[in-house]
A = this chain, B = another copy of it.
């Protein structure tokens, strides 16, 4: 049951607001540094807010970077799954939106007798701007 924005708590809003205004993924301690002026003092406050935002699909974690980014898909169909294109040159990240990706990966899994639940896909390369 994805939360609506109105249901966000103070700390969650602060963290989400910061991520809204940032293109690159941010580490938890970078987030902390950037919101200390708003009264957030401890890492745990950041991690707790991130946990909730991730649960509700508003934020995703990029595992290979230990960094967090806002979800731009208004109706992100995958709360637990993530699919990213990560530019190795400019560090920009975009989400793959193709909605049959989960299905494709599910089929791929079945080929090995594996029952798909969710996934993390992190593709590295050059984005449109950097790849020219």
Identify the A interface with B (CB < 8 A): 63-64, 80, 85, 87-88, 94, 96, 98, 101, 104-105, 108-109, 111-128, 131
Contacts and interface: CB of A to CB of B under 8 A. Distances in A.
Contacts of A101: 108
Nearest to A122: B120
B128 A109 contact: no
Contacts of A96: 108, 112
Given A63-B63, A85-B114, A121 B119 contact: yes
Contacts of A128: 112-114
Contacts of A122: 63, 119-121
| Identical copies of this chain, number | 2
8 contacts: A63-B120, A98-B108, A113-B128, A114-B123, A114-B127, A114-B131, A118-B124, A119-B122
A contact patch SS: mixed
A124 B120 CA distance: 8
Contact of A131 (B85, B88, B111, B115): B115
A132 B108 CA distance: 18
A105 B115 CA distance: 21
